[in-house]
Amino acid sequence: MSAMPTFPVLLALCAAHSLNDLLQSVITAVYPMLKDDLGLDFAQIGLITLVYQIAASIFQPAVGYAFDRRPFVWSLPAGMVSTSAGIALFALSDTMAGILLAVFLVGIGSATLHPEASRITSLAGRARRGFAQSIFQVGGNFGGSIGPLLVAFIVAPHDRRHVLWFLIFAALCFAAMRPICRWYRGYLDHIKAHPENHRRQLPLPLSRRRTLFAIGVIVVLIFSKYIYMASLSSYYTFYLIERFGVSVKTSQIFLFIFVVSTAAGTLVGGPVGDRYGRKPVIWISILGTAPFSLLLPHVGLGWTAALSFCAGFMLSSAFPAILLYAQELLPTKLGMISGLFFGFAFGVGGIASAVLGDFADVYGIESIYRVCAYMPLLGIVACLLPDLHNRPLPA
């Protein structure tokens, strides 16, 4: 098979990721309406978030492991069936039990798509897997950012039942998955026809002990990255309003600038990793964020916008390289390793947002940025990662 990426499949994967994450973002965007509709307290909102996070995070490695052992052509549409059912139930349910079931189904859909689509992205990317992962990741960034905006226009002026309109995006996602499934079926058929080419045993690049050590280092890096990302994605607008007295509308514009920076960083990180190696990108991306994060709490409004853009760009360029490095550590467990790191990233981000909220209640919103500014310094541990030199994955 050609070493060039399968571009139509990569674009379809990008579209599917975008539409999936758009649907996922509807859940939290509708929380204020849901709280009023059902008379919920914040503890119940927290329970809903917990159920969603458990489904979306913890199940990802299990799903990835299962489909590593038994590849299933229709895995992506199966996940979208779960998401669609959850969105419909979320729009119509008037009970807490129904809402919990709804967010669980949406979470299972996410837990299915991310490891499976990431695995197929690596396969379709062939020799340019970093580039492929960047294309895939930027789709999720885009979908997750426009979902709340669409809720503001489609749902907020009416009632929660208007969430049903988002099933149109689910239908579009099913359409985007058709060429992916067609290509994946051909890929699996090719494996069956030529097992000697595809099922060769790729030796692990490191011993088991060193592999576990490298994974531990990656976990620390994800921990540092997503705690600081949570401070920006969840509390940046509150920080701008409190410190500089800007309007809500202006704060949203600044947040949009930050979101653009994360998309740009994601696009750049993968191809640079293909060219220069994963380890340098990981090291520079995370540790290189520190000068911007450390300066940000001490500058004016204009410089805050510039520094947040630089921090978002640098930090977001790390994840494609981190994911590919982890896949190269365990080249026969693409789905499991993708699920493990997507799930861990989601979990760290969710827990960090909750903890930082409590921290801000006690010490003030500005304290978040003074404390979290030091998290990118943990990027120094990337020097402990062994060099893998972009080892091959299964063809």
State the Cα–Cα distance between residues 211 and 150, nearest whole angstrom.
43
165 has pLDDT over 90: yes
- What is the residue-wise DSSP string for 271-311? HHHHHH-HHHHHHHHHHTTHHHHHHGGGS-HHHHHHHHHHH
Cβ proximity of 294 and 345 under 8 Å: no
| Sign of the CA dihedral running 357, 363, 367, 372 | negative
Could you report the per-residue pLDDT of 114-143, keeping only the tens digit for each? 889 988 998 888 778 788 888 888 888 888
What is the second-level CATH architecture of the domain 208-395?
A: Up-down Bundle (1.20)
- How far apart are the two ends of the chain, measured CA to CA in Å? 8
Please tell me the least confidently modeled range out of 121-125, 200-204, 237-241, 385-389. 200-204
List % helix, strand, coil for the chain (3-state, nearest 5). Answer: 85, 0, 15
Could you report the per-residue pLDDT of 177-204, keeping only the tens digit for each? 999 999 999 988 888 877 655 545 566 7
Kind plus residue range of the DSSP H or E element containing 335? helix 334-363
Cβ proximity of 328 and 388 under 8 Å: yes
102 has pLDDT over 60: yes
180: nearest Cα among 23, 17, 392: 17
Q: How many CB atoms lie within 10 A of CB 281?
A: 28
Quick one: what percent of the chain has pLDDT higher than 90? 33
State the Cα–Cα distance between residues 317 and 382, nearest whole angstrom.
14
Distances (CA, A) of 237 to 79, 222, 234, 275: 33, 23, 8, 36
Cβ proximity of 333 and 68 under 8 Å: yes
Please tell me the least confidently modeled range out of 236-240, 313-317, 386-390. 386-390
95 has pLDDT over 80: yes
SS3 state of residue 390:
coil
> What residues contact 195, with CB distance under 8 A and at least 6 apart?
none
Instruction: Return the pLDDT at 390.
Output: 55
Kind plus residue range of the DSSP H or E element containing 150? helix 129-154
CATH of range 1-199; options 3.40.640.10, 1.20.120.450, 1.20.1250.20, 3.30.1490.190 = 1.20.1250.20
The DSSP letter of residue 114 is: H
Residue ranges of the chain assigned to CATH 1.20.1250.20: 1-199, 208-395
SS3 state of residue 132:
helix
Instruction: Return the pLDDT at 365.
Output: 83
Task: Find where tokens 């990317």 sit.
Answer: 125
Q: Which two tokens stand for residue 370?
A: 């003074």
pTM over 0.95: no
Quick one: what percent of the chain has pLDDT higher than 70? 92
